[in-house]
Each structure stands twice: as C-alpha cells, then as structure tokens.
Structure 1
Amino acid sequence: MTNTRVLVLVGSLRADSLNRRIAEKLAELAPAGVEVEIAENLHELPFYNEDLDGENVPSAAAALRDQVTLADRVLAVTPEYNGTMPAVLNNAIDWLSRPYGVGALRGKPFGVIGATPTPYGGKWAHQDTARSAGIAGAVVVEDVTVSQSALEVDVLTDPAVLERLAGAIRTLAEYDADAAAA
C-alpha cells in the first residue's frame, strides 16, 4: 500500500475520552503505509459564522482546512451526545464544508467510527456525521462505519473489536473512488 494519510476528527474534547483513545489506537492498528494523524485543537474553532469566513478566516479554521486538504482520507471518531453527533464535530464539518462547493471535504473519502456506553454504540451520531459530511461534499465510505457499544466489552483490548477497528481503517485507506464510481 502506498503512503496514505488519514486525518482523524475526534468528537470528544475530554482528554481521556474513550473515543480519543480509540483514535490513538488506530495509529497502532493501521496497516503499513498508512499514517494516522489526529486533528488537534478542534476546541479552538469558533462556532461557524459566515461573517468570520472571509478574507481573515480564524487561524484554527484555516489550519484545519489545510490539514484536511493535505490528508488523503478523513475519519471521524465520535461518541453520541443526546442522540446525535457532538457540537464540536458538527462545527468542524461546518467549517470544512465552506466555501460552498469547494470546501476541504469535497471529494475526500470519509468514514466514521466510535463507541458509547449505550446498547447502540453511537449509531445515530454516526449516521448524522456521515450524512453531514456527505452533504459537505465528502465521499462517505459506508463499509467503514463501526458503532461499538462499550457496555460489556473493553473496546481497547477485545480482539474482535480491535479487528473491526483495524478493518475500518484498512477499508478507508484502501478505498478507491474511481473503482467505486465505475
């Protein structure tokens, strides 16, 4: 596999969140030739406001757009808050969707995974994230989605869960947009 850069957007701001630890684990699980980088400082993004998105884009937004532009793939690793994606992730996607029609996510293969201490594993948040990213112009790779319940399993050590996570990062890295369109 050639070098593939996967930028990870973590939907939780808590330093020791399970989803942040999953994102960090993905770097270990990634196949040879796949670099996993976590987008830091999402907490510095101001809420999206078109008045701010002009000639003097906030530096945090410009930096995130640059990171996504340089990445080959984007992966959201997120919990679920009140049945949907966390505000920090939604806000990041808002910034990445602009300027309309040519935002940084445009044409970028995108996946979403995560874990929550619920029976559903965050599937509603993951569906909302995929839908929002797709509307923003990303190419959502459905075979990547992993919505893992953390109720009765340690998602960071369970071999079956780790294989699903490794499979997700492998599938996203190997995704060929040209072949999928054919």
Structure 2
Amino acid sequence: MTSDVTRPRKLRAVAIVGSLRTDSYNQLLLDNVIRLSPDELDIYQFPRFAEIPLFNEDQARLGPPEAVAELQAAVRAADAIVIATPEYNYGVPGVLKNALDWISMPPGNSGLEGKPIALMGASPSILGTARAQSQLRQSFVATDSHVVNSPEVFVTRAHTRFEDGVLTDSGSTKLIGRLLDNLVQLIRTVEPADVRLTEQVAAR
C-alpha cells in the first residue's frame, strides 16, 4: 500500500572563508561547521576564492572574470551563505570585502537581496572577530540581505581551540549548532511560498 509523505526539500549553502592563509583558523572553523551541519542543510565551500581579482567596476560592467562569474552563480543558486572571517586591523579582511563587492553586482539584482547569511569567525585574540563581523553586518544592510542575528559565534584564542583539526571547545560547537539551526529556520521563513512547498514522496 502506498501513502503520500511530505518532507522539506534539502537546503544548500555556499561557504566563504575570508582568508587565503594555508593554516587559517577560519578554514578549520568552516571544516568543523560543515561537519556539524544539520542533515537538512548541505554546506559546500566555493573552491576558487583565491582566484578572485581586485574589484573593478568597469570590468564588472563589461562582464565579470570567470572565477567571479562562478561565485556570483553559486550565490544566486544557494539558499544561504556561510562566512567564516578573520579580523585584520580591527576590520574585514580585504580579500573578503573584495569578493563581496563583486558578488553585490549588479546593485539591486545581485542575488544577495533577501539572502540569509550566517557569520562566524576565529581569532587568536580575546575579542574574536567581533569588529569584523559588525562591519559585515553593516555591508549586508546595503545589499538587503538577512543576517542571522543570534547567536554570535566568536571563537577566541583560536590557537588553543583546535586539536588535529577538530574544534574542541564545547561552548563554540553548541553556538555553531544553534546558529545553523537558526539559519535553516530563517531560510524557511524567507523563501517564496512556491519553493516552500514540500516534495511529495511515495512511501510503502
């Protein structure tokens, strides 16, 4: 006998690490975020971040470079964005701000409008990446994006928080779990009604 069962569609988030450093704490952080992601959310990292050139509005008007076009397409196709950022000189790393400037083109029709975003960061300092994340939140006001308000994830003293690549701080892992759960809830809230419809699955 066959009955109809409904289930929410699988969600997909594209992830960006705002560092090009080989041993980046934020790359380790994102690796753990992907591992801790709930079953209903797939998080994949954009693979060509290091190839993004410096933003040039003239070039953006003519047509973005290949790596930029791939990043823009990935953002448009994703249900959400996950960003792990360091903090340099009290602010957002240049490589990350540069990528966001590319992604935000064309203004008003970039794919960032209404896009749910989860922010986090790791730093050796005792303040984590609070100032960098605050600046990112301001930037996403301009793009009309929806940043998850809480919890804020600041992995402080990052040089003591990882062991063999695994985030060992239980407080941070709990916050990450809550952040991802809230991201899923936000995606479900803001997605169009026709997308929100559940898939029909035949079950025996």
TM-score, scaled to structure 1: 0.91
Tell me the equivalent position of 1:27: 34
1:5 alignment partner, SS class: strand
- The number of equivalent residue pairs is 179
Tell me the equivalent position of 1:120: 127
Q: Which runs of 5+ in 2 are unaligned?
A: 1-7, 192-204
Higher relative contact order (CA 8 A, sep 6+): 2
Q: Which has the higher strand share?
A: 2
- 1:106 paired with 2:113, answer yes
Tell me the equivalent position of 1:89: 96
- 1:162 paired with 2:173, answer yes
Shift of 1:55: 3.7
Whether the 8 Å CA contact 1:85–1:126 is kept in 2: the answer is yes
- Worse overlay, 104-113 or 63-72: 104-113
Q: 1:74 aligns with which of 73, 81, 85?
A: 81
Percent identity of equivalent pairs: 31
Whether the 8 Å CA contact 1:7–1:68 is kept in 2: the answer is yes
CA–CA distance in structure 2, aligned partners of residues 103 and 9 of structure 1: 17
Q: What is the aligned-residue RMSD (CA, Å)?
A: 1.8
Partner amino acid, structure 1, of 2:180: I
CA–CA distance in structure 1, aligned partners of residues 99 and 93 of structure 2: 10
Alignment of 1:136-147 (within 5 A): 136-147=143-154
- 1:64 paired with 2:75, answer no
Q: Which runs of 5+ in 1 are unaligned?
A: none
CA–CA distance in structure 1, aligned partners of residues 142 and 21 of structure 2: 27
